[in-house]
A and B are shown apart, each in its own frame.
Chain A
Amino acid sequence: MRIIVILGRVLDPAGITINQRAGRIFVNREEYVIQPADRCALEVALRIKDATAAEVVVLPRGPLPDDDILRQALAIGADRAVYFTRERFKADEAVMVRLLEAAIDRLGGADLVLTGATTLDSGQGQLGPRMAAALDWPQILDAWQAEVVDGAVQAVRQDGTGYVTVEAALPAVVTVVPGAVKPRYPDGVRLVNIYKNVGEIAAALERWEVTDLVGVDMLVPLVERRGQDFPPPRERGVRLSGAPDEVAVAAAQALQKRMNG
């Protein structure tokens, strides 16, 4: 069985300060980590591998300036990772899906695609379901855990205040919520060797030219960035006045709005 894990990187939020007054992001420590939800997806894949002896192949969810997070994933326990190379490579989810679909094809197909349900920075969750659409596979979104049972994937999802188990036939796409599982640490020996490019693991990281997988005409992103918008600086100390009931209603509305967002 082959499991594809699609993962991306994110600037460690502990290393940045966002100054809303100045409308700027200050990067104190530029350090990228695997998207937390993607890291959970990798952990789910490795647990399935532990239970059923699958091959876990890691592919990137977007263009990467370097292969660092793929090495991280190999250190954690993935069997193979593919780095897509191309000069000035730009892509959005729609482009990536074409590329990933071609890469999965070149790998000889897959039984299960796992990825994070949402990205930490931009909150995007479309990659998983877009993959499901492209491959025409069933999708299970926002899973807390997943295992393979008799040629099907069984996953736990939240349902109201409780949790339900759902099942889809393989092949399928499953997205995993951030914090769903406690991810394992990298293995020390694998970590040192993959970064030093020594030992067996060095061959596990492959570099594929993007244009060998898809035509140049398919590499046009649909989404365009048109700038940043900083919310107005926080206004503190706003006093609610009026009868207790009115005050309570206003406060409740403010809370509910905050909790939805």
Chain B
Amino acid sequence: MDFTLSPEHQALRRMIREVVQNEVAPLAAEIDRHHIVPIETMRKIGATGLLGVCFPQKYGGMGAGEMGYCILMEEVNKVCTSTGTNVGAHIGIGAMAIYLDGNEEQKRKYLTPLARGEKFAAFGLTESGAGSDAAAIRTRAVREGDSWILDGGKVFITNGGYADTITILAVTDPTLGARGGITAFIAETDWKGFKVAREEDKMGIRGTSTAELVFEELRVPHENVLGKVGEGFIIFMKSLDMGRLTLGAACIGGSEMAVDSAVRWAKTRQQYGEELAHKQSVQWKIANMATELEALRSLVYRTAWLVDTGQPFSQLAAMCKLYGSEVASRAIDMALQIHGGLGFTRDFPLERGFRDARIGEIYEGTSEVQKIVIANNIFREHGVRVRP
């Protein structure tokens, strides 16, 4: 067993830290306050090659594997959850679906510019009446010659407002349901019939675009069917599996920020004539935070290793997201408590972190859905197929 990070991953972390400090950190507070999507920052990150961190070099990526992607998510989210979410939606689900199930031509045409950071991706799954229960989606695709005509819409689509390439899940055969009746498409957002209806005003991750999209006779050529017709549900679930792992990595970043901040403040702030660091109430909080952070780190890195070595990881990935979002929320909550009134002010980054952390338990499958996935996997090993 070897728990050391490989030299290329250590070097990658150093590079990412530098990029994040220079390009992401200076804007983190401002994009949250003024609800700005930092597209220019995304372009700068893209120019370094990092938006293709986990994709093969032949498709414009870096070839640093899932572990490399986890390090990216960790380091970006340590400083700015909004930017981390933009990056995650682009790589982890948007481009990932094309990487996992695209054919050679689709990868060349769509994945390559995404990996190079020249174009941005979004993942069109959620509808107002359907999220993790993808079988309930209502967006319809009807075959017309060499094309499919899409009608319907999506909600809460991260990067939806500025993405160039979007994967869309639509019903192609209403009689078949989730398995067989749903197909994934790759669409370009400048095609006629694609419309951004609105941007959501959110509690946290305010530097992200969360868009409601409308498709009105959106014509998608048949060659843009991702995978096979009728297999869209499986394809999207595979991307979400991978996405969950990296959202766990994102939570390492958020938790680290909280621990660092709490330790720094406990060293400085004096109360009743001594630093907070000498108070047992504070020590215990920090000990708990650090322990949970370390447990999360072990879980995420092991899961990344399973992915990179081609082993089953679905159950662990759900655990990464479930546990990660809880750890991050708790860590930031405790850090805020240690900071007292300072932590509650909007000028201090913990307040932003507190709001941002909440989405971790919601997006890309709520904590409840993660528990379903985990329980499903456990019971399946015992021959029981549970209903969601």
Partners in one complex: yes
| A26–chain B nearest beta-carbon distance, Å | 13
| B127–chain A nearest beta-carbon distance, Å | 36
With A189-B57, A191-B62 already in contact, the answer to whether A75 and B49 are too (CB < 8 A) is no
25 A-B pairs whose Cβ atoms sit less than 8 Å apart in the complex: A68-B11, A71-B11, A72-B11, A72-B14, A185-B15, A185-B19, A186-B15, A186-B48, A187-B49, A188-B12, A188-B15, A188-B48, A188-B49, A188-B50, A188-B53, A188-B64, A189-B62, A191-B8, A192-B8, A192-B12, A192-B68, A193-B57, A193-B63, A195-B6, A195-B8
Q: Does B62 contact A75, Cβ atoms closer than 8 Å?
A: no
The contact size tier of chain A is: 10 to 19
| B297–chain A nearest beta-carbon distance, Å | 15
Interface of B, secondary structure class, is helix
| B58–chain A nearest beta-carbon distance, Å | 11
| A15–chain B nearest beta-carbon distance, Å | 11
Q: In whole angstroms, what is the CA distance A202 to B70 when docked?
A: 25
Could you list which residues of chain A lie within 8 angstroms of chain B, going by C-beta atoms? 31, 33, 68, 71-72, 75, 185-189, 191-193, 195-196
Nearest B residue to A12 via CB reads B14
Q: What's the count of A-B pairs with C-beta under 8 Å?
A: 51
Q: Which residues of B contact A192 (CB under 8 A)?
A: 8, 12, 57, 62-64, 68
Q: Which residues of A contact B52 (CB under 8 A)?
A: 188
Q: In whole angstroms, what is the CA distance A68 to B14 when docked?
A: 12
Q: Does B12 contact A191, Cβ atoms closer than 8 Å?
A: yes
Q: Does A189 contact B11, Cβ atoms closer than 8 Å?
A: no
Q: In whole angstroms, what is the CA distance A33 to B11 when docked?
A: 10
Q: In whole angstroms, what is the CA distance A75 to B12 when docked?
A: 10
A185: which of B6, B48, B53, B57 is its contact (CB, 8 Å)? Answer: B48
Q: In whole angstroms, what is the CA distance A189 to B48 when docked?
A: 9
Q: Which residues of A contact B18 (CB under 8 A)?
A: 185
Q: Which residues of B contact A193 (CB under 8 A)?
A: 57, 63
A-contacting residues, B37-78, CB 8 Å: 48-50, 52-53, 57, 62-64, 68
Q: Which residues of A contact B63 (CB under 8 A)?
A: 189, 192-193
| A194–chain B nearest beta-carbon distance, Å | 8
Q: In whole angstroms, what is the CA distance A188 to B15 when docked?
A: 9
Interface of A, secondary structure class, is helix
- Please indicate which of the listed interface residues A68, A71, A195 has the most CB atoms of chain B within 10 Å of its own CB: A195
**How many chain B residues touch the partner (CB < 8 A)?**
19
Q: In whole angstroms, what is the CA distance A187 to B19 when docked?
A: 12
- B273 contacts the other chain (CB 8 A): no
10 nearest interchain CB pairs? A188-B49, A195-B8, A188-B62, A195-B7, A185-B48, A186-B15, A192-B64, A192-B62, A195-B11, A192-B8
A-contacting residues, B243-280, CB 8 Å: none
Nearest A residue to B12 via CB reads A191
| B122–chain A nearest beta-carbon distance, Å | 23
Q: In whole angstroms, what is the CA distance A192 to B69 when docked?
A: 13
Nearest B residue to A33 via CB reads B14
Q: Which residues of B contact A72 (CB under 8 A)?
A: 11, 14
Q: Which residues of B contact A185 (CB under 8 A)?
A: 15, 18-19, 48
Q: Which residues of B contact A31 (CB under 8 A)?
A: 14
Q: In whole angstroms, what is the CA distance A71 to B11 when docked?
A: 9
Q: Does A196 contact B14, Cβ atoms closer than 8 Å?
A: no
- Please indicate which of the listed interface residues A187, A188, A189, A195 has the most CB atoms of chain B within 10 Å of its own CB: A188
Q: Does B7 contact A68, Cβ atoms closer than 8 Å?
A: yes
Q: Which residues of A contact B6 (CB under 8 A)?
A: 195
Q: Does B50 contact A191, Cβ atoms closer than 8 Å?
A: no
| A11–chain B nearest beta-carbon distance, Å | 13
Q: Does A189 contact B49, Cβ atoms closer than 8 Å?
A: yes
Q: Which residues of A contact B7 (CB under 8 A)?
A: 68, 71, 195
| A58–chain B nearest beta-carbon distance, Å | 15
Q: Which residues of B contact A68 (CB under 8 A)?
A: 7, 11
Q: In whole angstroms, what is the CA distance A33 to B21 when docked?
A: 15
